[in-house]
Amino acid sequence: MAEDLSAATSYTEDDFYCPVCQEVLKTPVRTAACQHVFCRKCFLTAMRESGAHCPLCRGNVTRRERACPERALDLENIMRKFSGSCRCCAKQIKFYRMRHHYKSCKKYQDEYGVSSIIPNFQISQDSVGNSSSGHPTFKCPLCQESNFTRQRLLDHCNSNHLFQIVPVTCPICVSLPWGDPSQITRNFVSHLNQRHQFDYGEFVNLQLDEETQYQTAVEESFQVNI
């Protein structure tokens, strides 16, 4: 770790990552009872779906917190003082600048994908479908085999394409309301293992776009009796 956080503070580098999105915290907020910290947007989205429970430990969250979570200002200040290693290039970056660094880090973009357009690249119209149970199914962009659930696609790629690195569009990402068809993933199998170990539908309402979900949270905050 760049500057010995454990020696200087009670925090470790893992404390600067949101347990929901697995990225460096953005506008961190902290629950009062269990003291768990999340990105503000991640927390509000989770509250929309889980009601009165902490997204990490299922502990109770007050009505006031659900509407207006408390900023973890102490953590924000520490993020401005200390550095950590970029998870891909190992460059030392102030934690509060880490997300900005990712936008220009070539190794990060190769690992996790970057918004880019490859000439003549087209997305198959049938890359996403639905199973008889109503769950979405996907076509493997590396071999074109179809009708995989998320977990089966993950298992299939780990078994058959582990060392195959070809720029493709992730069909799971495209199926999400915020999905960008122009976003290219240069290491698809690594991307699956990092981003799709769970179904997003278990945590957020996929029928609503991100802006609608946050707007709903704001409107509900005005109805909370503080």
In DSSP notation, 98-165 reads HHHHHTT-HHHHHHH-EE---TT----TTSEEE-TTS-EEE--TTT----B-HHHHHHHHHHH-TT--
pTM, two decimal places: 0.47
Give the single-character DSSP code of 16.
G
Measuring CA to CA, which residue among 188, 144, 136 is closest to residue 165? Answer: 188
Query: Which two three-digit tokens encode residue 44?
Result: 């509000």
Q: Does residue 15 contact residue 37 with C-beta atoms inside 8 Å?
A: yes
* pLDDT tens digits along 99-135: 888 888 888 877 776 543 333 333 344 455 555 555 7
CA-wise closest residue to 48 among 225, 219, 216, 226: 216
Does the pLDDT value for residue 154 go beyond 70? Answer: yes
pLDDT at position 123 is: 37
pLDDT of residue 217: 61
For the chain, count helices (H), then strands (E). 10, 9
Buried b (16+ CB within 10 A) or exposed e, 15-30: bbbbbbeebbbeebbb
Question: Right CATH number for 14-81 from 3.30.40.10, 3.40.50.1100, 3.40.50.11240, 3.30.750.24?
Answer: 3.30.40.10
CATH 3.30.40.10 residue ranges of the chain are: 14-81
Residue bearing tokens 């509000």:
44
pLDDT at 173 > cutoff 80: yes
Beta bridge partners of 24: 17
Q: What confidence tens digit (pLDDT) does each residue in 12-45 have?
A: 888 898 988 888 998 999 999 999 999 988 888 8
DSSP-assigned letter for residue 14: G
> What's the pLDDT tens digit per position in 200-225?
766 666 555 555 666 666 666 555 54
Nearest to 198 by CA among 63, 21, 11: 21
Q: What is the pLDDT of residue 204?
A: 60
